[in-house]
Copies of this chain bind each other. A is one copy, B any other.
Amino acid sequence: MQQYTITIHGGAGTILKEDMTPELETGYKQGLEDALNAGFSLLEKGGSALEAVLAATRSLEDCILFNAGRGSVFANDGSQEMDASIMDGKTLMAGAVAAVRHIRNPVELAYTVMTKSQHVLLIGKGAEDFAALHGIRTEPDEYFFSPFRYEQWKKMQGTNEAALDHNVKLVDKKFGTVGAAACDRYGNIAAATSTGGMTNKQWGRVGDSSIIGAGTYANNKTCAISCTGHGEMFIRAVTAYDVSCLMEYKDLSLQEAMEVVVHDKLMKIDGEGGMVGVDAKGNAAMVFNSEGMYRGIRSSSGISDTKIYK
């Protein structure tokens, strides 16, 4: 029988137990559980992998602890600019947005780009106009305001530094991104990724989360992958698609291919981070080269787990 599975992440980096409070750890775990529930319950009911990754990613975007959607970090000008992408492994269709503001769920906008436009990638004000045309829900600045993120930004404001992290203490070594990969009862797979980017980012910097092939990729023939890490390195390494190529052209398994990319290819260019992925048989893997990665997995075979540290 076809196994169905979902795996999610909420970012990777120098996440150390000594820096965590029990309350915060419980909060992160709950955020991961909520996302697994949102995605897996759809798979159980016969929903598609695409619907599952959309629901799980939306759930993570709604949790203020993760750097995506509601919990997005502040850019250099005090705004929140978000990126997201989604890909359907059955059709190889994809949608993505970059540098959008006030969108409650950027992953939903990416899905709408995929399903309601001829395009793959829309950016900035233009993408927001497209969102308005399609009734995508927006929120005022207050919705995205968290005292924690604001303090984090204030500390960097006026500098040219940008942090990939969403934790002030570990400012240079955490990568705030969320994402999901799923395989449904029919053997179709999909992946989605969403981020609020780097704290204090400027110059319209865009990372890998909105780049098909880098942050997100899905193809029923191989795998569905969502990445989190130092975006520039993931773009240069074409990370998500590299896993697919190693499976398609070198016959590596999902786990093997992810390990080559994360522990060898990325390490060679100091690319810190990780990824979650599935194949069309419902196998899943979660691989990272950083201290920790917020992650979770649930499968029809009975596996259900959330983890933070190595």
Contact = CB atoms under 8 A, between A and B. Distances in A.
Interface of A: 87, 92-94, 98-99, 117-127, 129-130, 162, 202-207, 211-214, 217, 231-232, 235-238, 241-242, 245-246, 249-250, 269
Contacts of A269: 92
A203 B92 contact: no
Nearest to A241: B238
Contacts of A130: 203-204
A180 to B, nearest CB: 19
B249 A125 contact: no
Given A94-B236, A235-B213, A124 B121 contact: no
A206 B92 contact: no
Given A213-B241, A249-B245, A249-B250, A235 B120 contact: yes
A235 B118 CA distance: 13
A231 B94 CA distance: 12
B204 A126 contact: yes
Contacts of A245: 241-242, 245, 249
Nearest to A213: B238
Which one of A118, A121, A203 has the highest number of Cβ atoms from chain B below 10 Å of its Cβ?
Answer: A203
A121 B235 contact: yes
Contacts of A217: 238
A118 B120 CA distance: 26
B236 A119 contact: no
Q: How many copies does the complex hold?
A: 2
Nearest to A252: B249
Contact of A123 (B94, B99, B117, B231): B99
Contacts of A246: 249
Given A122-B204, A245-B245, 20 more contacts: A87-B236, A94-B235, A94-B236, A99-B123, A117-B203, A118-B232, A119-B232, A120-B232, A121-B205, A122-B206, A124-B204, A125-B204, A126-B203, A127-B203, A130-B203, A211-B213, A212-B238, A213-B214, A245-B249, A249-B249
A214 to B, nearest CB: 6
A132 to B, nearest CB: 10
Contacts of A237: 92
A32 to B, nearest CB: 29
A217 B242 CA distance: 13
A94 B124 CA distance: 22
A119 B205 contact: yes
A94 B122 CA distance: 21
Closest 5 A-B residue pairs measured CB to CB? Answer: A126-B204, A249-B249, A213-B238, A245-B245, A130-B203
Contacts of A249: 245-246, 249-250
B204 A236 contact: no
Given A213-B241, A249-B246, A236 B93 contact: yes
A204 B242 contact: no
30 contacts: A92-B236, A92-B269, A93-B236, A94-B235, A94-B236, A99-B126, A117-B203, A118-B162, A119-B203, A119-B205, A120-B235, A121-B235, A122-B204, A123-B123, A123-B124, A124-B124, A126-B204, A127-B204, A129-B203, A130-B204, A212-B214, A213-B241, A238-B238, A238-B241, A241-B241, A241-B242, A241-B245, A245-B245, A246-B249, A249-B249
